[in-house]
Amino acid sequence: MKTFTDKMHTYGRIWTVTALAVLYAVPLVFSIYYNVFPQFSTLLKALAAVIPIYWATAIVEVITYTPLLGAGGAYLSFVTGNIANLKLPCAMNAMNSADVKATSEEGELISTIAIGTSAITTTVIIAVGVLAFAPVLPYITAEGSVIKPAFEYVVPALFGALLASYFAKHWRLTIAPIFAGVIAYIFAPKLPVGTMIFVTIVASLVAAGILFKVKYSKQFASEKE
């Protein structure tokens, strides 16, 4: 019998391929219906400027997000999107509340449930929001609106509230990624978010390894004495 993880990979691959097919089908159907197809040379020239960036970001995000989200959470997140701003904070907050690790079976299950719930909730809220706030939204997000600045700080406020507990518990580990992120943005201000996450994660792993060796080398030395 297949395990939970095996089934998750099977269904995840099926729905990922299905989602890609649907996404590609939309422009294809419009092109066929209106009998208008872009010139391949023009399309390739336009894509040449953005493909290298998105390919690098895609590879980096898979490497960095999957260990944090688990197999099921990763499949759900990459199909529904908005990982950094919504899916990752939801999964991390759920696992933190349940006091489980991301690499454990419990963490895998809770992450998948949290991300699935987040996707459903987001869809419902967006549908209700579009119907209810469509008439007034242009006014509250306009340049002269007093409420507009609040929309620019939603994501920082979300991550600040989420990371505050982790910073308080493991403040030594926060020094290296913050320092690495600041240095990276000084030399590469336009660095994509996915690449920056990878840089800070590598800095965190290196710092954690160094602190681990220092801690246990001191403990070993004291036990030896």
Strand, helix or coil at 188?
Answer: coil
- What is the model's pLDDT at position 17? 92
- What is the model's pLDDT at position 225? 58
In angstroms, the Cα distances linking 128 to 122, 124, 139, 151, 205 are 10, 6, 18, 18, 42
Kindly state whether residue 211 falls inside one of the protein's structural domains.
yes
Kindly state whether residue 180 falls inside one of the protein's structural domains.
yes
DSSP 8-class letter at 84: I
Kindly state whether residue 223 falls inside one of the protein's structural domains.
yes
CA distance 155 to 196: 16
Kindly state whether residue 113 falls inside one of the protein's structural domains.
no
CA distance 177 to 166: 13
Handedness of CA 103, 105, 107, 109 (dihedral sign): positive
- What is the model's pLDDT at position 224? 56
- What is the model's pLDDT at position 18? 93
Kindly state whether residue 154 falls inside one of the protein's structural domains.
no
CA distance 76 to 215: 38
Kindly state whether residue 175 falls inside one of the protein's structural domains.
yes
Structure tokens of 113?
């449930």
Q: Name the residue among 118, 130, 50, 108 with its Cα closest to residue 85.
A: 118
Structure tokens of 118?
């987040």
Q: Give the orientation angle of helix 193-224 with respect to helix 51-80, to 10 degrees.
A: 80
CA distance 103 to 209: 18
- Domain around 221: 170-225
Kindly state whether residue 161 falls inside one of the protein's structural domains.
no
Total structural domains within the chain? 1
In angstroms, the Cα distances linking 218 to 8, 16, 55, 170, 209 are 43, 48, 44, 19, 14
Kindly state whether residue 7 falls inside one of the protein's structural domains.
no
Structure tokens of 201?
């994660």
Q: pLDDT tens track of the chain, all 225 residues? A: 467 778 888 888 998 899 999 988 998 899 899 888 888 888 787 777 677 667 777 777 788 788 888 888 889 888 888 787 788 888 888 888 888 887 788 888 898 899 999 889 888 988 888 888 778 777 777 777 777 777 777 777 777 776 777 777 777 888 888 888 889 888 888 877 667 777 888 888 888 888 888 776 666 556 555
Q: Give the orientation angle of helix 105-133 with respect to helix 4-34, to 10 degrees.
A: 30
